[in-house]
Amino acid sequence: MNSQDNDTHLSGMDAFFNPQSIAIIGASANMAKLSGRPIAALLKKKYSGSIYPINPRYQTVAGLACYPSVAAVPGEIDLAVIAVPLEGTRDALRQCAEKGVKAAVVFTSGFAEVGAEGKALQQEIAAIARQNGMRILGPNCLGFIYFRNAVMASFSDVMEVEFERPGTLAFATQSGAFGEKTFMQALQDGVDFSAFISVGNEADLQFSDFISHLVQDKGTGLFGVYLEGAKGGLKFRQAAETALRAGKPIMVKKVGKTGAGTRAAASHTGSLAGNDRIYDAFFRQMGIVRIEELRDFTAFARVYQCGRMPKGRNAAILTDSGGPGVDMADQCEKFGLNVPELSASTQAKIREIIPFYGSARNPVDMTAAIMTDQDLYVKCLRAIFDDDAIDIVFAPGVFMSYTEPALIDETLELYRATSKPLILYPVWDDPSPQSQEMVARFQKEGIPIIREASDAAKAVASLVRYGEKREAFLRAGKGPGIPSDAKKKAHSILRSTTRLTEYEAKRVLAAYGIPVTREELAHSADEAAACAHRIGFPVALKVQSADIPHKTEAGGIMLALPAEAEVRKAYARIMDNVRAHVPDAVITGVLVQEMLPEGLEVIVGVTRDPVFGPCLMCGLGGIFVEVLQDASFRVAPLAAGDAEEMIRELKAFPVFQGLRGKPAADINALIDVILKVSQLAVDFADEIEELDINPLMVYPTGVRVADALIID
């Protein structure tokens, strides 16, 4: 994607990153103005291609020939910057289309962000792009910058920064102001960038398009996104999977966490699924690092850009004082890292080095003796690095004016001899030139220096989780064994009615190989009695009506009926209760169902998210789903690892492992159900609105669906 790799047949996306010519439509001779700034930056950064200012008012701009129109430009135009008033935008884009321009950046505001009229205009410019094979970034954006090829298609102050060399972080933002702030702060904190992309209203191209394209860029290894809301969940997922496969993490700062996205729904799953809850689940599923604070962004970027992936979660902590060591240990365990005792042999080596009142366990406390014996630092580090059980090392920065140069040399030499990450949290620091020179040497080596213990631990833990997720993603096996005719059978049932009863919902589940109760549908007391004899006592009776999604409240369920007489009485009582509770309900019969033995009650559900489509939910079932609201979500389709994560992240997970003498639940059988429901949800993504299996009875061996609801 570098300039030397240019192809005369650039695609629309290539034209943003590797244009051989850039036109600025509406160019100003005043380099301080919005429409003059791109020209000034292109010249200052020594962009190697052709620059075409376009404005009928000028003959030249900044020493460049200026043309009256796009058509008047003698050569081809790869990338156009549209910097004209709102009323001239359509005409400018049409001129670009006629010229064969491949890509355009539209600065202009006044589109969908201002109302219906602006939205209609935005749809028009998007149509121009589609009809002519041209790609558009914006409108209402700060533009596009690709540092590697000095592409300055922007008016942002970001163009003014000076890099010794371009970095590896590509940053896309839906907010121009927040994007600039994030960029500038991260730059001050030592993070280098490859690209800055302000996507604006995303009339055509979305942030996901740029991630998908830049995954192929050898110079880009990490992505940052400021996200208010994704327009295309599928496109976002495809980009995330491509980046995960390539080993290029995505960091996302997602705003809008309020309950505004939560809607009323007939199923438990639908009512528990909120907008942000689904986003959070998607991020976990795709290995996306969710950023809460700006410092999280810079800390993770610096830890990742050191180029060393931890092989596990075991961290060792070196300190000169008990307090900072305990704090770092607390932060490590808080964010999911382990702080194990060092091996006996490692502790023995360290005891020979440190004072008798120090600690050789973990954290390793060198004590204040380090102030007079600086050799302690390197000797302790070497012993820790040599411990095979340790994956990550945290150590204090020794950046004092009296620190001997030899200590820095030896530390860097030791670091180069290992592949383990080293993160420095500066216990000692001063602003003297000597100290800052030491800091610069460590930073040049790529060693992250993070001032707060919590930030350091959180960043490393996020990197560990990312690595684990990527490994699981790459080794994901085949899906669950689903009968070959499952979709055909389910389609036949779904097509036969507009609203499904429990009986019909279970038939859909059974078609996908999900174990359901033995049951039959009865239309009279006599039929109910006959069904009960065939199934075997005791049985349960349940009214079947699409008008009664929650049967208990209507008195439509009778349980543990031991004999025929009780079945007949229960049938009559159910009919009386339902007619009194919901007089207009259409009753299709009474389900006679085997009574299941006691087991762990679980809910597995599906809801349709407006961004991501079908999403799976899992939690404790029965009344607990309403009381505890302890549920986990993932976006369909799921891999086996996703389903297992859903179960393990529940607060109630210890219940699945068996408590107070009770046997553990069959988690593998539960995973199988979740995966089959996931496939069902994908197969009927446009038909199934919500689905609840509640409860799914999970036993030490096997599972069984006791009740189910499907809303299509």
565 three-state secondary structure: helix
Residue 258 confidence (pLDDT) above 70: no
Of the ranges 259-268, 276-285, 511-520, which one carries the lowest mean pLDDT score?
A: 259-268
Classify residue 681: in a domain, yes or no: yes
Question: What integer pLDDT is reported at residue 377 of this predicted model?
Answer: 92
3-state secondary structure 394-460: EEEEEECCCCCHHHHHHHHHHHHCCCCCEEEEEEEECCCHHHHHHHHHHHHHCCCECCCHHHHHHHH
Instruction: Identify the band that residue 587 occupies on the pLDDT scale cut at 50, 70 and 90.
Output: very high
Classify residue 580: in a domain, yes or no: yes
How many other C-beta atoms can be found within 10 angstroms of the C-beta atom of residue 3?
16
Question: What integer pLDDT is reported at residue 626 of this predicted model?
Answer: 67
What is the spatial distance between Cα 654 and Cα 664, in angstroms, rounded to a whole number?
9
Same domain for 668 and 584, yes or no, is no
What is the spatial distance between Cα 4 and Cα 149, in angstroms, rounded to a whole number?
10
Same domain for 613 and 579, yes or no, is no
Average pLDDT of span 504-521 = 97
Of the ranges 180-189, 309-318, 319-328, 431-440, which one carries the lowest mean pLDDT score?
A: 431-440
Instruction: Identify the band that residue 530 occupies on the pLDDT scale cut at 50, 70 and 90.
Output: very high
Same domain for 71 and 195, yes or no, is yes
Average pLDDT of span 438-467 = 93
Average pLDDT of span 220-226 = 96
Same domain for 672 and 584, yes or no, is no
Average pLDDT of span 567-583 = 95
CATH number at residue 340: 3.40.50.261
Structural contact between residues 443 and 190, judged by C-beta atoms closer than 8 angstroms: yes
Classify residue 306: in a domain, yes or no: no
Instruction: Note the pLDDT tens digit of each residue in 338-395.
Output: 999 999 999 999 999 999 999 999 999 999 888 888 889 999 999 999 999 999 999 9
Tell which residue, 96, 165, 171, has the closest CA to residue 135. Answer: 96
What is the spatial distance between Cα 208 and Cα 203, in angstroms, rounded to a whole number?
13
Same domain for 549 and 697, yes or no, is no
Q: Please give the single-letter amino acid code of residue 499.
A: R
CATH number at residue 663: 3.30.470.20
How many other C-beta atoms can be found within 10 angstroms of the C-beta atom of residue 63?
7
Same domain for 572 and 605, yes or no, is no
Q: Which residues contact 64 (CB under 8 A, 6 or more apart)?
A: 39, 51, 52, 53
145 three-state secondary structure: strand
Question: What integer pLDDT is reported at residue 595 of this predicted model?
Answer: 96
Classify residue 698: in a domain, yes or no: yes
Structural contact between residues 338 and 401, judged by C-beta atoms closer than 8 angstroms: no
DSSP, res 306: T
Same domain for 584 and 694, yes or no, is no
Record the tokens describing residue 113, joined without a space: 């962000």
What is the spatial distance between Cα 558 and Cα 571, in angstroms, rounded to a whole number?
8
What is the spatial distance between Cα 251 and Cα 298, in angstroms, rounded to a whole number?
10
Classify residue 135: in a domain, yes or no: yes
Q: Could you say which of 538, 573, 594 is where a domain stops? A: 594
Residue 549 confidence (pLDDT) above 50: yes
Classify residue 251: in a domain, yes or no: no
Alpha helices (H) along 549-588: 564-581
Long-range contacts of 380-385 (CB under 8 A, 24+ apart): 380/318, 380/350, 380/353, 380/354, 381/318, 381/411, 381/414, 381/422, 382/414, 383/346, 383/349, 383/350, 383/353, 384/316, 384/318, 384/342, 384/346, 384/350, 385/414, 385/417, 385/418, 385/420
Q: Which residues contact 45 (CB under 8 A, 6 or more apart)?
A: 150, 152, 159
3-state helix, strand, coil in the chain (%, to 5): 40, 20, 40
Structural contact between residues 83 and 107, judged by C-beta atoms closer than 8 angstroms: yes
Average pLDDT of span 105-119 = 94
Structural contact between residues 699 and 666, judged by C-beta atoms closer than 8 angstroms: yes
Of the ranges 254-268, 305-319, 331-345, which one carries the lowest mean pLDDT score?
A: 254-268
Residue 621 confidence (pLDDT) above 90: no
CATH number at residue 574: 3.30.1490.20
Question: What integer pLDDT is reported at residue 487 of this predicted model?
Answer: 97
Q: How many CA atoms lie within 13 A of 9 on its CB side?
A: 0
Same domain for 186 and 113, yes or no, is yes
Domain count, the chain: 4
Tell which residue, 112, 178, 122, 167, has the closest CA to residue 145. Answer: 167
Q: Could you say which of 398, 416, 444 is where a domain stops? A: 444
Residue 264 confidence (pLDDT) above 90: no
- What percent of the chain is predicted at pLDDT more than 90? 79
Structural contact between residues 125 and 203, judged by C-beta atoms closer than 8 angstroms: yes
Residue 269 confidence (pLDDT) above 50: no
Between 553 and 146, residue with greater pLDDT? 146
Question: What integer pLDDT is reported at residue 336 of this predicted model?
Answer: 96
Classify residue 638: in a domain, yes or no: yes
Structural contact between residues 335 and 450, judged by C-beta atoms closer than 8 angstroms: no
CATH number at residue 46: 3.40.50.720
625 three-state secondary structure: helix
Same domain for 619 and 578, yes or no, is no
Q: Report the mean per-residue pLDDT for the chain.
A: 92
What is the spatial distance between Cα 52 and Cα 46, in angstroms, rounded to a whole number?
15
Classify residue 367: in a domain, yes or no: yes
Residues of the domain holding 547: 518-594
Average pLDDT of span 504-510 = 97
Same domain for 58 and 179, yes or no, is yes
Instruction: Identify the band that residue 613 occupies on the pLDDT scale cut at 50, 70 and 90.
Output: very high
Question: What integer pLDDT is reported at residue 623 of this predicted model?
Answer: 67
Average pLDDT of span 188-199 = 91
Q: What is the DSSP string of 321-387?
A: SHHHHHHHHHHHHHTT-B-PPPPHHHHHHHHTTS-TTSB-SSSEE--GGGGT-THHHHHHHHHHHT-
Burial class (CB in 10 A: 0-12, 13-18, 19+), 241: middle
Q: For the chain, how big is the Rg over CA atoms in Å?
A: 32
Question: What integer pLDDT is reported at residue 204 of this predicted model?
Answer: 96
Residue 591 confidence (pLDDT) above 60: yes
Q: Could you say which of 228, 259, 291 is where a domain stops? A: 228
Residue 6 confidence (pLDDT) above 50: no
Same domain for 590 and 631, yes or no, is no
Q: Which residues contact 355 (CB under 8 A, 6 or more apart)?
A: 367, 369
What is the spatial distance between Cα 564 and Cα 535, in angstroms, rounded to a whole number?
12
Residue 527 confidence (pLDDT) above 60: yes
Instruction: Identify the band that residue 2 occupies on the pLDDT scale cut at 50, 70 and 90.
Output: very low
Task: Give the position of tokens 């050569």.
Answer: 75
Tell which residue, 18, 449, 10, has the closest CA to residue 219. Answer: 18
What is the spatial distance between Cα 620 and Cα 601, in angstroms, rounded to a whole number?
6
| Interstrand relation of 613-620 and 631-635 (parallel, antiparallel or unpaired) | antiparallel
Residue 574 confidence (pLDDT) above 70: yes
DSSP, res 682: H
Question: What integer pLDDT is reported at residue 678 of this predicted model?
Answer: 98
- What percent of the chain is predicted at pLDDT more than 70? 95
Same domain for 149 and 46, yes or no, is yes
Average pLDDT of span 90-118 = 95
